[in-house]
Amino acid sequence: MNAAYTSKRKRKTLEDSYRHKGMRMKLVGELRKKGITDKAALAAIADIPRHFFLDKAFEEWAYKDVPFPIESNQTISQPYTVAFQTSLLNIEKGDKVLEIGTGSGYQACVLAHMGAKVYSIERQQKLYQITNQFLPRIGYGNIRLLLGDGYMGSQRFAPFDKILVTAGASYVPDALIQQLKVDGVLVIPVGDDIQKMLRITKVSEDEVKTENFGDFRFVPFLKGIN
């Protein structure tokens, strides 16, 4: 891993220029062309300075539609994947949402920008700490970050309207279905090498409906805290 990736996003200044805004508008245009129609998700991507989430040396990469390495050998998901997963959730203002796999915190900010009340779990202590210090600096101190194993969800803050998993799971954890409200939705990529993007709707206390939205590739959903 390149040493630059492990730096702690300690920028002296967080500068968002017209040039950055222009790059964001271009990225939003690309996402629209690729079929994303969720207006609130696109507005969040247009507003949130994604380059703040990467090391300064890589800021040109922030607005390309590609995943990118961050601290602790993890990645910030590709903007298309963020937009696609977010759209599948049909976020409404006030939704209580649990994200699993905080990583850089970017996806959590997109959900919060759309008016969701966001809880997000990370298993890697170092990433949790960096992101927990960073989000208040960019105005997202209202996102509740938790250090823990996402396979168990968060019993403490359940039930949720929506749950979003941003790592590739080998199976659907029961705890996550249990922690959904009836009519709640879980979006989770499932598979060992390549993942199928599943949207699971809890239609009653003991019944779910599963839809498959095709192949994606994520970093693995691992057990335990690191």
122 near ligand SAH, judged by CB under 6 A: yes
Looking at 5-13, 36-44, 72-80, 204-212, which segment touches ligand SAH (CB under 6 A)? 72-80
- Minimum Å gap between C-beta 121 and ligand SAH is 5
74 binds ligand SAH (CB under 6 A): yes
Q: Which of 110, 104, 95, 123 is nearest to 38 (CA)?
A: 110
| 130 touches ligand SAH by CB under 6 A | no
By CB under 6 A, is residue 221 in contact with ligand SAH? yes
Distance CA 17, CA 12 (A): 15
**3-state SS, one letter per residue, for 122-188:** ECCHHHHHHHHHHHHHCCCCCCEEEECCHHHCCCCCCCEEEEEECCEECCCCHHHHHCEEEEEEEEE
Nearer to ligand SAH, 104 or 185 (CB): 104
Catalytic (active site) residue 120: no
Catalytic residue among 7, 72, 77, 120: 77
Q: What residues make contact with ligand SAH under the rule CB under 6 A?
A: 74-77, 100-101, 103-104, 106-107, 121-124, 127, 149-151, 166-167, 219, 221-223
